[in-house]
Amino acid sequence: MLRIYDTRARQVEEIAPARALRMYTCGPTVYRYAHVGNLRTYLLSDLIRRVLERRRTRVVVCQNITDVGHLADDSDDGEDKVRRQAQAEGRSVRELARFYEDAFTKDTATLNLRPPEHTPRASETIDLMIELIAKLIEQGHAYAVPDGSVFFDVRTFPSYGEISGNRLDELKPAHRIETVDPRKRFHADWALWKPGEGELTWDAPWGRGFPGWHVECSAMSLRFLGPRVDLHTGGMDLRFPHHEDERAQSDSAAGQEVVRHWVHGEHLLFEGRKMAKSTGNVVLLSDVVAAGLDPLAVRLAFLEHRYRQQMNLTWDTLRAANRTVRRWRARVAAWSESPSAPMARDRVDRVEAAFDDDLDTPTALRILRELERDESVAPGAKLESFLHLDQVLGLDLSTEIGKTPVLPAGAGELLEARERARAAKDWAAADRLRDELAELGVRVSDTPEGQTWV
C-alpha cells in the first residue's frame, strides 16, 4: 500500500483504508487566479488519488471553495480578501468568486487533476457552519460575546499544536497585535463567527455576520466525509494556524480524532524567489501556454521533485520538461507502430514501488528514462509500460498515437543504430546513418534529450 509522510506523526505511515479512502483537501480562495505554486499543492492530492486507484482503492475527495470569510491575514481583524478584490475589479462578490472559481477549475483540468466528488462553496453551506458553532458552544468549546462574535476556547483542547508543534503554553500574541483582544478569554482563541452587515452576511443566533475561515473546512469535511477522514492534504503554510484550528474544532465536535493522516506539500520558489505579486514573479498556467509550452510540462516539472521538498521552478526547467513531454509522446507514437509485447515488468514494478514509497516521483521518472534508453526492451513493451504508468503520471502520453507518420521499411532499425552510434560518440557513423535516413525521406534532428525525426 501507499506509504506517506504524516505531518502530525512526523514519520512515514502506511495508508490503509478499510474500504473507500476519504480525503479532504483545502481548496482555493477564489478572489484571484491560482498561480503555479498554488497548483502544485493540488497535484499532491491528485497523485495520492491516482496511486491508490491504481491499487483498486476507491477514493472520495472533498475540496472546498472559499468564497467568503477569508480575511486579509490570520488575525481576527482585517478586510475580507474576496470583498476587497471585488471592489477593486468593480464586480459583485458573487460575480468575482464565480469567475475565479471557473478559472481555477479550468486550470486544474488542464493539468489533468481529477475533479473531487464534492466541491462545496462556503457561501452555500453557512447553515452547516452555524450548526457546528452552536454545537461547540453547547459543549463548552466556544463562547459568544456581546458584539455578536463567537470564539473557540482553545484551552478546552489540550492537544492543540500536535500538527505544527506550536503548543499553547508557548504561543504568544502575533507581533502585529499590540494588545490582546479583550473579548477573548485567551489570546490564542480564534473567531468562529464575526459580526457584519452587507453582502455575504447571514443571520445567526449570535447576530448577523459571517463565519471565520477555519470553521468552514471543519463543517464541510464533517458533513461530506463524516467523522472519520482518512487523509487531509494542504500546503505547508496551512499547518498553523488553519489546520491546528480545524483539528481542534472537528475533534471537539465529533468527540474523537477525525483525521487519521495529515499530509502537506512544500513551498514553490520561482527563479529562486517566493512567488508573490509584490516581487513580480507570479506565473500563471496561462503564462506557460503563452510561452509556447505544453501546460503538462508544469505537471512533469513538479513530478521531478518530491512533494515535500521545496522546489525552485525556472523557465529553463519548464522548457526542459516541455521537451521531455513532447519527446515521450513521439516515442510512444513510434513504439505503437511495433508489435505489442508484455510490459517490462521489472521496470514497471520498480516505478510503482517508487510511487508507493512516499510518492517518490523523481525515482519513478529516472527509471522511466532508463527504460526509454534500454535497447534490449522491445518497442511494444515500452509502449505498454509507458501507457500503464501514465495513469499516475497524467502526461497524456498517448495523444500522438496515430498522428506520427509510419516509418518507411528499415528506417526504424537505422534510427536505433544511429542512437547507438551517438551513445558511443561515433559521430562519423551517426552522420552516415542520418544521410541514409534522409534518402528514405526521414529527417533527423538532434536535441539535448536525444534524436527526433519527422
**Same domain assignment for residues 175 and 300:** no
CB atoms near residue 140 (< 10 Å): 10
Q: What is the pLDDT of residue 120?
A: 97
Domain match, 93 and 221 both: yes
- Total of domains in the chain: 3
Q: Which residues are annotated as a binding site for Zn(2+)?
A: 26, 217, 242, 246
Q: Judge if 18 and 55 occupy the same domain.
A: yes
CA distance linking residue 4 with residue 6, whole number of Å: 6
Shared domain for 86 and 199, answered yes or no, is: yes
159 assigned to some structural domain: yes
DSSP conformation letters of 349-372: HHHHHHHHBT--HHHHHHHHHHHH
Report the length, in residues, of the chain: 454
User: With bands split at pLDDT 50, 70 and 90, how would you rate the model's confidence at 450?
Assistant: confident
How buried is 439 (Cβ within 10 angstroms: 0-12 exposed, 13-18 middle, 19+ buried)? exposed
Contact 222, 229 (CB under 8 A): no
Q: Judge whether residue 284 has pLDDT over 70.
A: yes
Check whether residue 379 and residue 435 sit in a common domain. Answer: no
Strands 444-447 and 273-274: unpaired
Domain boundary pick from 404, 424, 443: 404
The DSSP string of 164-183 is T---GGG----TT-SS--TT
Pair (197, 67) in one structural domain: yes
Binding residues for ATP: 277
Residue 284 lies inside a defined structural domain of this protein: no
Higher model confidence: residue 402 or residue 161?
A: 161
Residue-averaged pLDDT of the chain: 91
> What is the model's pLDDT at position 78?
59
Whole-number Å distance between alpha carbons of 372 and 384: 12
* CATH code of the domain containing 256: 3.40.50.620
Residue 286 lies in a domain: no
Q: Is the pLDDT of residue 31 over 70?
A: yes
354 near 367, Cβ under 8 Å?
yes
Task: Give the pLDDT confidence score for residue 178 in this predicted structure.
Answer: 55
Distance CA 151, CA 287 (A): 42
138 within some domain = yes
Side chain identity at residue 310, one-letter code:
Q
CA distance 196 to 211: 10
Work out the average pLDDT over 11-20. 88
* Parent domain of 433: 408-454
List pLDDT tens digits, range 382-424. Answer: 999 999 999 999 999 999 888 756 677 788 888 888 988 988 8
Q: Do 63 and 140 share a domain, yes or no?
A: yes
pLDDT for 85: 85
Are 211 and 245 members of one domain? yes
In a domain, 252, yes or no: yes
Let me know if 428 is exposed, middle or buried by CB neighbors in 10 A (0-12, 13-18, 19+): exposed
Q: Tens digit of pLDDT for each residue in 52-110?
A: 999 889 999 999 999 886 655 545 555 677 778 888 898 888 899 999 999 999 999 99
Global pTM reads 0.87
Mean pLDDT confidence for 219-243: 96
Asked if the structure places residue 369 within a domain, the reply is yes
Annotated binding-site residue numbers = 26, 217, 242, 246, 277
Top mean-pLDDT range of 76-80, 165-169, 292-296, 333-337: 292-296
- In terms of Cα–Cα distance, which of 281, 285, 282 is closest to 299? 285
Domain assignment of residue 271, yes or no: no
Q: Is the pLDDT of residue 175 over 70?
A: no
What is the 8-class DSSP label of residue 156?
G
Query: Given this model, what pLDDT does residue 270 score?
Result: 92
Cα–Cα distance between 278 and 69 in angstroms, integer?
Answer: 23
Do residues 373 and 226 both lie within one domain?
Answer: no
Share of the chain above pLDDT 70, in %: 95
Q: Which residue, of 363, 382, 404, is where some domain finishes?
A: 404
Q: Establish if 217 belongs to a structural domain.
A: yes
Residue 61 sits in the same domain as residue 149: yes
pLDDT digits (tens, 9 = 90+) for 325-367: 999 998 999 899 889 899 999 999 999 999 999 999 999 999 9
More confident residue, 440 or 349: 349
Residues 241 and 311 in one domain: no
What pLDDT is attached to residue 266? 95
Q: Could you tell me if 341 and 203 lie in one domain? A: no
Structure confidence at residue 298 (pLDDT): 98
The single-letter code of the amino acid at 193 is: W
Collapsing DSSP to helix, strand or coil, 121 comes out as strand
User: Per-residue pLDDT averaged across 162-190, rounded?
Assistant: 82
Amino acid (one-letter) located at 326: R
